[in-house]
């Protein structure tokens, strides 16, 4: 694992050098020099991400002169940008719901033309990267999520994006959710169970998901998207490895005995930690009989069609709970699993370094995350069951439970990034050894 991390850091250094020209058009207010709460200083040329010169990482929230500007101040600056020829604020987004904010934006800021491009996650980042490399920057704002550290450790240091943390809005967001980016909203994945088959949640721990009956048969039929093709799920399993002590304790709490380690790491050309409960879980899970289904609606349908005699669990995004009311499915989330239910998948907003509309970009980011009072209208398209707003002054009463009651935790991208490639390799090899697949 250490060797892979070193290679990743060397690759980052090479990319930084090759992309040194990125963002050369950037004209931003001068840095104040004040130290941010996350330990970075406004004088830093690389306020977030991995710094190859010092070998250190810096974390948010990061505050500079942009952070204290009001909507009114940014609006006046954005109109000047338009007068100077930057007539369109371009947003590259991974959510089609971003298109629904255009009309509200136009009502508030009629002088500022907004164009939203609905792209997948890879396109958002690759297009912005190419624009940076060619110094032909079109995007002003990116909306995407970072579940394994790629965005944080690569795109800041490449000069593709730069942080923007509006101080007044950030005061309403827990600092743990500001460490790696400025969030739009958070989602997560849950294990679903059949409410007709079980009067109450049948599992309390991740270990019980892979439990066997006395005769050695698998207790639950398991459904999921192919874990190896889902970055968020691999990152979750990576987190179990970095939090091995919690995984070990969870096992002992459930079964009253110490965990027995059975995995064989001899086939890997990298160092695998010994007696690690997260690795043990990955091994055991990879050997379960599973049905991979790419469509989330079909995953929860499989749970709805299951019975108490042949019970099923499915791992799917929180938003698939809408099938309960819209289609009458007998489904519910499994919450407060030990050691934790899930990792938060945070959709985040990024300013593009060197863009033509730095003030307009930041005005839009403020707008889409609710504005000064949370009532700008920008959050409305994202306000649906299975999405949680991270602002404490915005009530997301469309969800049956507040986020704090569900047992998820913030994603530690720093820890996950260093081992993610190894986890992917372990999963692939062990899944290929599964006699049930």
Reported as a single tens digit per residue, the pLDDT across 257-272 is 999 999 999 999 999 9
Confidence tier at 123 by pLDDT (50, 70, 90): very high
Reported as a single tens digit per residue, the pLDDT across 357-409 is 999 999 999 999 999 999 999 999 999 999 999 999 998 889 989 999 999 99
- The three-state secondary structure class of 263 is coil
- Rounded Cα–Cα distance for residues 21 and 308 (Å): 61
Confidence tier at 52 by pLDDT (50, 70, 90): low
Does the pLDDT value for residue 415 go beyond 70? yes
First to last CA, the chain: 28
- The three-state secondary structure class of 274 is coil
Taking alpha carbons only, the member of 231, 235, 189, 183 closest to residue 209 is 189
Reported as a single tens digit per residue, the pLDDT across 125-141 is 999 999 999 999 999 99
Given its phi and psi angles, is residue 374 left (phi above 0), alpha (psi -120 to 50 degrees) or beta? Answer: left
Do strands 88-93 and 113-118 pair parallel, antiparallel, or not at all (unpaired)? Answer: parallel
Confidence tier at 2 by pLDDT (50, 70, 90): very low
- Rounded Cα–Cα distance for residues 385 and 320 (Å): 9
- The C-alpha angle with vertex 327 and arms to 322 and 332, in degrees rounded to 5, equals 50
Instruction: Report, as an integer, the average pLDDT of 95-112.
Output: 97
316 with 299: CB under 8 angstroms? yes
- Rounded Cα–Cα distance for residues 263 and 247 (Å): 15
- Rounded Cα–Cα distance for residues 95 and 91 (Å): 11
pLDDT value at residue 58 = 85
pLDDT value at residue 53 = 62
Does the pLDDT value for residue 8 go beyond 50? no
- Rounded Cα–Cα distance for residues 264 and 279 (Å): 10
* Percent of the chain whose pLDDT exceeds 90: 84
Instruction: Report, as an integer, the average pLDDT of 218-228.
Output: 97
Confidence tier at 50 by pLDDT (50, 70, 90): low
- Rounded Cα–Cα distance for residues 201 and 336 (Å): 10
- Rounded Cα–Cα distance for residues 417 and 112 (Å): 38
Does the pLDDT value for residue 55 go beyond 70? no
32 with 42: CB under 8 angstroms? yes
Confidence tier at 48 by pLDDT (50, 70, 90): confident
């Amino acid at each position: 694992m250490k060797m892979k991390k070193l290679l990743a850091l060397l690759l980052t250094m090479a990319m930084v050098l090759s992309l040194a020209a990125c963002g050369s058009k950037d004209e931003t207010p001068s840095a104040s020099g004040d130290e941010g709460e996350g330990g970075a200083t406004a004088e830093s040329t690389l306020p977030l991400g991995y710094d190859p010169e010092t070998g250190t990482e810096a974390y948010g929230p990061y505050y500079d002169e942009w952070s204290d500007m009001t909507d009114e101040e940014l609006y006046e600056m954005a109109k000047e940008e338009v007068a100077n020829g930057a007539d369109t604020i371009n947003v590259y987004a991974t959510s089609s719901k971003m298109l629904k904010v255009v009309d509200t934006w136009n009502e508030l800021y009629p002088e500022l033309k907004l164009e939203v491009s609905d792209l997948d996650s890879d396109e958002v980042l690759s297009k912005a990267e190419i624009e940076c490399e060619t110094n032909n920057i079109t995007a002003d704002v990116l909306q995407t999520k970072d579940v394994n550290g790629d965005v944080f450790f690569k795109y800041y240091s490449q000069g593709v994006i730069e942080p923007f943390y509006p101080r007044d809005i950030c005061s309403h967001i827990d600092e743990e959710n500001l460490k790696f980016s400025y969030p739009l909203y958070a989602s997560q994945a849950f294990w679903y169970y059949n409410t007709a088959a079980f009067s109450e949640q049948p599992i309390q721990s991740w270990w019980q998901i892979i439990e066997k009956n006395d005769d050695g048969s698998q207790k639950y039929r398991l459904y999921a998207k192919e874990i190896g093709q889902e970055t968020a799920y691999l990152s979750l399993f990576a987190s179990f490895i970095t939090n091995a002590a919690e995984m070990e304790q969870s096992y002992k709490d459930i079964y009253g005995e110490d965990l027995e380690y059975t995995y064989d790491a001899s086939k890997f050309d990298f160092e695998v930690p010994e007696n690690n409960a997260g690795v043990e879980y990955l091994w055991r899970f990879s050997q379960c009989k599973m049905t991979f289904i790419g469509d989330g609606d079909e995953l929860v349908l499989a749970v709805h069609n299951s019975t108490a005699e042949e019970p099923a669990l499915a791992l799917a995004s929180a938003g698939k709970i809408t099938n309960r009311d819209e289609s009458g499915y007998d489904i519910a989330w499994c919450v407060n699993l030990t050691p934790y239910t899930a990792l938060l998948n945070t959709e985040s907003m990024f300013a593009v370094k060197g863009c033509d509309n730095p003030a307009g970009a930041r005005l839009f980011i403020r707008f889409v995350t609710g504005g000064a009072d949370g009532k700008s209208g920008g959050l409305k398209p994202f306000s649906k069951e299975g999405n949680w707003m991270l602002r404490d002054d915005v009530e997301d009463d469309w969800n049956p439970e507040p986020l704090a009651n569900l047992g998820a935790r913030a994603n530690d991208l720093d820890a996950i990034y260093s081992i993610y490639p190894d986890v992917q390799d372990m999963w692939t090899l062990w899944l290929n050894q599964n006699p049930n697949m």
